C-alpha cells in the first residue's frame, strides 16, 4: 500500500463544565460559525473535520460531551476509544477552572493516558476574568499539559488547539513527526499578544467536511459498535472512516508526554 493512501482518524473528546463553550468550539472548528445562544448539550454530539497535518490526511472526530454531572454516566461511555482530549474551562467561571483536574481524571479513568490540552475559553471576556493568568499557567505546568487561551467568539486559537492535538497524536504513532512548535508546554499569552490572529470566519478556507449526529441519536452513529448503555463503545474507523483503507491506528509504537 502506498503511504499516501493511509488516512488517520483521531477521536477527540471535548470535556469541561457546562457553558464553557465546548459545543461552540466544535461548531466553530467544523462549521466556521458562532452563535450567542446557549443550548445545553444533552448527552453527546459529534462533528468531524478533515485536515492535513505534515502532508498527511487526518480525520478529526470531535465528540461534544455534556458538562453537567447528571449526564456523566452517558458521556463517560463515549470517552472510550478517544485518542486526544480538550479540557476546557471558561475565563468567567471559576468553578469550571477548578474542575479541570477532575475532568482529566474522568477521562483517564476510561481511556488511560492520552494527549490532552487545557483550554481557557472566552478570553474575549478577560476584563471579567475570575482566574488569574498565573493560576491557569501553574495548573498546566503541574499537569504537564499544553495550555491555550481561546475565544471561540473571535475565532482565536481554536484551529491551533486541534492542530496541536493532531500533531501530537501523529508524533506518538509515527515517531517521525516533529513535536509541534518549539515552545514550552505552557503556551501563554498567545491570544492576548496577537489578538488579530484567526479572528475571522472563513468557511471557504477550511472547507470542512461536516457530518453531524443528532444528540443521543445512537442509531445514526455509524462509528459505534454498540450503544452507550451497554457500556461498550468501540471506534471502528479503519473501513468506515478511511473508505476501506488501512488505518495506522494499530501501529502505535511510542509515547510522548
Ligand atoms: N463571549 C464568549 N462567549 C462564548 C464563547 N464561546 C462560547 N460562548 C457562549 O457560551 C455559551 C455556552 O456555550 P456552549 O458552547 O453551549 O457551552 P458548552 O460547554 O457546550 O455547554 P454544555 O452543553 O452545557 O456542556 C453560549 O451562549 C456561547 O455563545 C467565547 O469564546 N466568548
The model's pLDDT over 103-112, given as tens digits with 9 standing for 90+, comes to 999 999 999 9
Write the CATH number for 137.
Answer: 3.40.50.300
pTM > 0.90: no
Q: Is the CB of 197 under 6 A from ligand 1?
A: no
Number of C-beta neighbours around residue 221 at 10 A: 17
- The answer to whether residue 185 is domain-embedded is yes
- The answer to whether residue 246 is domain-embedded is yes
- The answer to whether residue 2 is domain-embedded is no
- The answer to whether residue 1 is domain-embedded is no
Q: Is the CB of 122 under 6 A from ligand 1?
A: yes
Which atom of ligand 1 lies closest to the CA of 150? 31
Per-residue pLDDT of the chain (257 residues; tens, 9 = 90+): 455 556 789 999 999 999 999 999 999 999 999 988 878 777 778 899 999 998 889 999 999 988 787 788 888 888 999 999 999 999 999 999 999 999 999 999 999 999 999 999 999 999 999 999 999 999 999 999 999 999 999 999 999 999 999 999 999 887 654 555 544 444 444 433 233 333 322 333 333 333 333 333 333 333 333 333 333 333 444 333 444 343 433 333 343 33
pLDDT digits (tens, 9 = 90+) for 142-163: 999 999 999 999 999 999 999 9
C-alpha 19 – ligand 1 centre gap (Å): 5
Structural domains of the chain, count: 1
Quote the domain boundaries for residue 239. Answer: 7-256
- The answer to whether residue 49 is domain-embedded is yes
Q: Per residue, what are the HEC states of 161-223?
A: HHHHHHHHHHHHHHCCCCCCCCCCCECCCHHHHCCCCCCCCCHHHHCCCCCCECCCCHHHCCC
- The answer to whether residue 191 is domain-embedded is yes
Which pLDDT belongs to residue 29?
Answer: 97
Which pLDDT belongs to residue 31?
Answer: 94
- The answer to whether residue 68 is domain-embedded is yes
Which pLDDT belongs to residue 46?
Answer: 86
Closest residue (by CA) to atom 14 of ligand 1? 21
With cell 491570544, the residue in question is 191
Q: Which of 22, 24, 36, 201 to mutate for ligand 1's pocket (most ligand atoms within 8 Å of CB)?
A: 24
C-alpha 68 – ligand 1 centre gap (Å): 13
Taking each helix axis as running N to C, give the angle between helix 72-79 and helix 100-111, from 0 to 180 degrees, rounded to the nearest 10. Answer: 60
CB 134 within 8 Å of CB 104: no
C-alpha 24 – ligand 1 centre gap (Å): 5
- The answer to whether residue 84 is domain-embedded is yes
Amino acid at each position: 500500500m502506498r503511504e499516501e493512501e493511509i488516512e488517520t482518524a483521531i477521536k477527540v473528546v471535548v470535556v469541561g463544565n457546562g457553558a464553557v463553550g465546548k459545543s461552540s468550539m466544535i461548531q466553530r472548528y467544523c462549521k466556521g460559525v458562532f452563535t450567542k445562544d446557549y443550548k445545553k448539550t444533552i448527552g453527546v454530539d459529534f462533528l468531524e473535520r478533515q485536515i492535513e497535518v505534515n502532508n498527511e490526511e487526518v480525520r478529526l472526530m470531535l465528540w461534544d460531551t455534556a458538562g453537567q454531572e447528571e449526564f456523566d454516566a452517558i458521556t463517560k461511555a463515549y470517552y472510550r476509544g478517544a485518542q486526544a482530549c480538550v479540557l476546557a474551562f471558561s475565563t468567567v467561571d471559576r468553578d469550571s477552572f477548578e474542575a479541570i483536574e477532575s475532568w482529566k481524571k474522568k477521562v483517564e479513568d476510561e481511556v488511560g493516558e492520552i494527549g490532552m490540552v487545557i483550554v481557557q475559553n472566552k478570553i474575549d471576556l478577560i476584563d471579567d476574568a475570575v482566574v488569574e493568568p498565573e493560576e491557569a499557567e501553574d495548573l498546566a505546568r503541574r499537569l504537564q499539559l499544553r495550555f491555550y487561551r481561546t475565544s471561540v467568539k473571535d475565532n482565536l486559537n481554536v484551529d491551533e488547539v486541534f492542530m496541536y492535538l493532531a500533531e501530537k497524536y501523529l508524533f506518538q504513532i509515527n515517531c517521525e513527526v516533529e513535536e509541534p512548535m518549539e515552545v514550552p508546554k505552557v503556551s501563554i499569552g498567545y491570544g492576548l499578544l496577537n489578538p488579530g490572529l484567526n479572528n475571522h470566519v472563513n468557511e471557504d478556507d477550511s472547507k470542512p467536511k461536516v457530518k453531524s449526529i443528532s444528540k443521543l441519536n445512537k442509531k445514526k452513529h455509524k462509528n459505534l459498535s454498540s450503544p452507550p448503555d451497554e457500556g461498550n463503545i468501540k471506534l471502528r474507523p479503519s473501513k468506515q472512516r478511511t473508505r476501506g483503507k488501512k488505518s495506522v491506528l494499530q501501529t502505535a509504537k511510542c509515547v510522548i508526554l
